[in-house]
C-alpha cells in the first residue's frame, strides 16, 4: 500500500503526469509492433502512414489505417445489403471470402 500512496501523492502533486505516462506507454507499444513488422512503412503526401501485408498466395496488399477502417465499417453498416454484410463480417472478424462463402446455417 505504501507504493500506491507514493504514486498517488506523485500524481496529486504534479510529479507524475498521467497523460505523459500514457503517451510513453503507447509509444513503447507502437515501437515494439513496428520492430516486429517485416515490411516497409512509409508516409504518403497527405501525411498518412501506409504499409502492406502479403496474403497466403504471396500477393501484396495495402492495409487500411484506423480512420479508413472506421469509415468503411460505418458505410457498410449504413448501406447494409448481402454484399456489404459479407464485407462487414470480413472487416469485423478477419475471415476470408472463402470462409464466409462456406458458412451455413448449421455453422456455430
pLDDT tens by residue, 22-60: 888 888 887 776 676 666 777 778 777 777 767 677 777
pLDDT score at 108 = 58
- Asked whether the beta carbons of 87 and 73 are under 8 A apart, the reply is no
Copy the grid coordinates of residue 53. 501485408
Q: What is the pTM of this model?
A: 0.42
Q: Are strands 42-43 and 60-62 parallel, antiparallel or unpaired?
A: unpaired
Indicate the helix (H) or strand (E) that contains 74.
helix 66-78
pLDDT at 71 over 80: yes
pLDDT score at 41 = 73
Over residues 9-32, the mean pLDDT reads 85
pLDDT at 1 over 70: no
Amino acid at each position: 500500500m505504501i507504493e500506491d500512496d507514493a504514486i498517488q501523492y506523485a500524481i496529486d502533486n504534479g510529479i507524475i503526469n498521467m497523460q505523459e505516462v500514457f503517451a510513453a506507454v503507447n509509444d513503447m507499444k507502437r515501437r515494439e509492433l513496428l520492430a516486429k513488422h517485416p515490411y516497409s512503412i512509409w508516409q504518403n503526401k497527405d501525411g498518412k502512414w501506409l504499409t502492406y501485408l502479403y496474403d497466403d498466395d504471396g500477393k501484396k496488399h495495402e492495409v487500411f489505417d484506423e480512420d479508413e477502417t472506421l469509415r468503411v465499417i460505418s458505410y457498410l453498416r449504413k448501406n447494409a445489403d448481402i454484399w456489404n454484410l459479407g464485407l462487414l463480417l470480413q472487416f469485423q472478424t478477419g475471415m476470408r471470402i472463402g470462409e464466409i462463402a462456406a458458412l451455413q446455417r448449421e455453422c456455430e
